[in-house]
Amino acid sequence: MGGGFCLKWEYGKRHRESTRRRRRLCLWVLLIAVVFIAGYVVIQSSSSYGFTWAIRNLPRKFPLDFTNTPTNIENAPVKTELDSKESSRSEFLMDTFVSIRAVGLNPEQAIQAAFDEMHEIESLMSRHIPDSDVSRINQAAGGDPVRVNDETFHVVEEAIRWADLTQGAFDITIGPLMDVWGFGGENPTVPTVEEIEQARALVGWDLVELDSENRTVRLPMQGMSIDLGGIAKGYAALKGAQALSECGISHALIDAGGNIVSIGSRPDGEPWQIGIRDPRGESMNDTIGPTLSVVNHAVATSGDYERFFEHDGKRYHHILDPKTGMPVEMVRSVTVLAEDALCADMLSTAVFVLGPDEGIKFVETLEGISAMIVDSAGNTIFSTGFNEM
């Protein structure tokens, strides 16, 4: 009896120890399984939401700026798309309505910065603002050189360069002709032949004296005047676009009186769609030619419908041929597609003056630029690659 009891006790003791070991092993397996499942859930949640929770709970003193961060590139667009907003605004400046549409983190602030930049360009380059650089140059015609802002000098320098390339079709010294026609005022009228000839004697881009070292501009004859209306709006739109980009805007569209600049694509990733106004359409929504698909490009249109008057049943518009002093008659509108808004604005005027044949020939010599001309009969003429850029 004693030996049997001892044997049973030892067996029971070993059995209890074995049971405890099995229970501990099961608990460890269960704990490992719980940890594994919890980790899997956390990873899946982070992947699904793009670390949104972590980003939103960062301390506010650290700004969220992914533009110069080499990491988290895939996550940055998620943050932008979630928090971006769309805003638009219009203002009247540079003698036209300017509208800006922007999508980004702070679109209202970006649009304000763009308008501030464009107002600054107007204050420098409008011939109708008494203390602008352009007005000071004109007032000093026949006298001493005038020191101007770097941006004004740049635009004048570019205008003279393109005047040379277009053989005078684009000429910023056309101011006296614009004045004799009255296009700067409220009552334009047809001048006499003598008045036109007197004004033409004061026109000549090659007479403008530039001093790049001192940033001065001089008009050698009294009565000369420059008019940057054919190039300044494009430059203002360019500077406005740069201001938007500096504010972090990656999707935007600026329309400055027929001078359009696109930043990136539309928010949905598709190109911006730009219609070309029919110069003889009944409304501004009537279009002609193809609809342009643009991303990071500029579109500029010059037309005889922008500023005109009728006298004895004939239309007289503001786009004058510097050589004749008369409105150009062979063209109704010109649309230029380019990467640079200043070039697009200037070329839309130059090609208009050159006419359908010479205008298209000239555009074909330029890299990265294309154009569409609507001639006096309403026919559309295209350069190579128009709407394929």
Edge-to-edge strand list for the sheet holding 216-218: 146-147, 216-218, 209-211
Q: What is the 3-state secondary structure (H, E, C) of the chain?
A: CHHHHHHHHHHHHHHHHHHHHHHHHHHHHHHHHHHHHHHHHHHHHHHHHCCHHHHHCCCCCCCCCCCCCCCCCCCHHHHHHHHCEEEEEEEEECCEEEEEEEEECCHHHHHHHHHHHHHHHHHHHCCCCCCCHHHHHHHCCCCCCEECCHHHHHHHHHHHHHHHHCCCCCCHHHHHHHHHHCCCCCCCCCCCHHHHHHHHCCCCHHHCEEECCCCEEECCCCCCCCCCCCCHHHHHHHHHHHHHHHCCCCEEEEEECCEEEEECCCCCCCCEEECCECCCCCCCCCECCCCEEECCCEEEEEECCCCEEEECCEEEECCECCCCCCECCCEEEEEEEECCHHHHHHHHHHHHHHCHHHHHHHHHCCCCCEEEEEECCCCEEECCCCCCC
Q: What is the pLDDT of residue 266?
A: 95
Q: Is residue 303 a contact partner of residue 258, using CB atoms and an 8 Å limit?
A: yes
Q: Per the domain annotation, does 323 fall within a domain?
A: no
Per-residue confidence band for 106, with pLDDT thresholds at 50, 70 and 90? very high
Output 53 or 159, whichever has higher pLDDT: 159
Output 109 or 49, whichever has higher pLDDT: 109
Distance CA 107, CA 304 (A): 34
Q: Per the domain annotation, does 23 fall within a domain?
A: yes
Distance CA 130, CA 136 (A): 7
Token code pair at residue 86: 């769309």
Per-residue pLDDT of 3-38, as tens digits, reads 443 333 333 444 445 545 555 655 655 666 555 555
Per-residue pLDDT of 194-221, as tens digits, reads 999 999 999 999 999 999 999 999 999 9
Report the CATH number at residue 212: 1.10.3980.10
Q: Per the domain annotation, does 342 fall within a domain?
A: no
Q: What is the pLDDT of residue 259?
A: 96
Q: What is the pLDDT of residue 314?
A: 92
Q: Per the domain annotation, does 146 fall within a domain?
A: yes
Q: What is the pLDDT of residue 42?
A: 40
Output 352 or 14, whichever has higher pLDDT: 352
Q: What is the pLDDT of residue 186?
A: 84
Q: Per the domain annotation, does 185 fall within a domain?
A: yes
Number of independent structural domains in the chain: 2
Q: What is the pLDDT of residue 15?
A: 43
The single residue listed with the structure tokens 């549409």 is 101
Examine the pLDDT at 327 and tell me if it is beyond 80.
yes
Per-residue pLDDT of 249-274, as tens digits, reads 999 999 998 899 999 999 999 999 99
Q: Per the domain annotation, does 209 fall within a domain?
A: yes
The single residue listed with the structure tokens 């308008």 is 115
- Work out the widest C-alpha separation in the chain, in whole angstroms: 147
Q: Which of 97-111, 164-178, 375-389 has the lowest mean pLDDT?
A: 375-389
Per-residue pLDDT of 359-368, as tens digits, reads 999 999 999 9
Examine the pLDDT at 233 and tell me if it is beyond 50.
yes
Q: Per the domain annotation, does 25 fall within a domain?
A: yes
Q: What is the pLDDT of residue 32?
A: 64
Examine the pLDDT at 297 and tell me if it is beyond 90.
yes
| 303-314 mean pLDDT | 92
Residue 8: Cβ within 10 Å count: 10
| 342-357 mean pLDDT | 98
Count Cα atoms within 13 angstroms, Cβ side, for 135. Answer: 10
Per-residue pLDDT of 146-160, as tens digits, reads 999 999 999 999 999
Q: Is residue 346 a contact partner of residue 159, using CB atoms and an 8 Å limit?
A: yes
Output 6 or 234, whichever has higher pLDDT: 234
Q: Which of 24-28, 88-92, 278-282, 351-355 has the lowest mean pLDDT?
A: 24-28
Per-residue confidence band for 50, with pLDDT thresholds at 50, 70 and 90? very low
Q: pTM for the full model?
A: 0.78
Structural domain containing residue 17: 2-49
Examine the pLDDT at 99 and tell me if it is beyond 50.
yes
Q: What is the pLDDT of residue 33?
A: 58
Q: What is the pLDDT of residue 388?
A: 64
Q: Per the domain annotation, does 62 fall within a domain?
A: no
